[in-house]
């Protein structure tokens, strides 16, 4: 098997391996996560967008990032990041950070204004994500406001985002 790790856009053929990694890392509780709840509203059931990426080593999928188109307060132009998931055998080697950088780069090129997520500020804060002022953005289901973070790709994008996050 090649030792080289490749990072590329996710394809439909990756969906089973992505689902398997999510199940292994997050277990049955994954469906209660905010990103899953937001996507529940999608009619096509396709979990992939143009912004999703995977890292592979040989035939093995070792990390994956999902970014979904969302509206905030009915306004399109934002993405919700999640889940991001690195195979525990490959954790702490920079793949999480690289997948986030790829997703943000593609989002910026596509003219996206804002990327939001629910996650650990100590990790995402180092990558440039900022705390959303409490009460400004709501998600379907309860969220600890100290974990609602956003990365602005346009000036003032966090301040401009108000309301409920729904699938776009």
Ligand X SMILES: CC(C)(COP(=O)(O)OP(=O)(O)OC[C@H]1O[C@@H](n2cnc3c(N)ncnc32)[C@H](O)[C@@H]1OP(=O)(O)O)[C@@H](O)C(=O)NCCC(=O)NCCS
- In whole angstroms, how close is the CB of 92 to ligand X at the nearest point? 5
Rg (CA), the chain: 15
Task: Specify the stretch interacting with ligand X by CB under 6 A; choose among 69-77, 107-115, 120-128, 148-156.
Answer: 120-128
Q: Which of 110, 117, 99 is nearest to 154 (CA)?
A: 110
Contacts of 88 (CB under 8 A, 6+ apart): 25
Task: Specify the stretch interacting with ligand X by CB under 6 A; choose among 46-54, 67-75, 94-102, 133-141.
Answer: 94-102
Considering the rule CB under 6 A, would residue 129 count as an interface residue with ligand X? Answer: no
- 74 or 141, CB closer to ligand X? 141
- 32 or 154, CB closer to ligand X? 32
Asked if 55 and 62 count as a contact pair (C-beta separation under 8 A), the reply is yes
């Amino acid at each position: 098997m090649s030792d080289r790790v490749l990072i590329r856009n996710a394809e439909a053929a990756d969906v089973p391996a992505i689902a398997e990694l999510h199940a292994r890392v997050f277990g049955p509780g994954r469906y209660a996560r905010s990103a899953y709840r937001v996507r529940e509203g999608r009619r096509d059931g396709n979990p992939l967008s143009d912004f999703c990426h995977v890292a592979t080593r040989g035939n093995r999928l070792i990390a994956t990032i999902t970014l979904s188109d969302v509206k905030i307060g009915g306004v399109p132009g934002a993405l919700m990041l999640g889940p991001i998931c690195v195979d525990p055998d490959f954790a702490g080697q920079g793949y999480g950070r690289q997948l986030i950088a790829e997703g943000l780069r593609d989002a910026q090129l596509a003219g996206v204004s804002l990327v939001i997520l629910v996650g650990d500020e100590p990790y995402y804060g180092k990558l440039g994500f900022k705390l959303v002022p409490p009460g400004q953005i709501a998600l379907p289901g309860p969220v600890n406001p100290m974990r609602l973070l956003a990365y602005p790709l346009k000036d003032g994008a966090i301040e401009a985002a108000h309301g409920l996050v729904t699938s776009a």
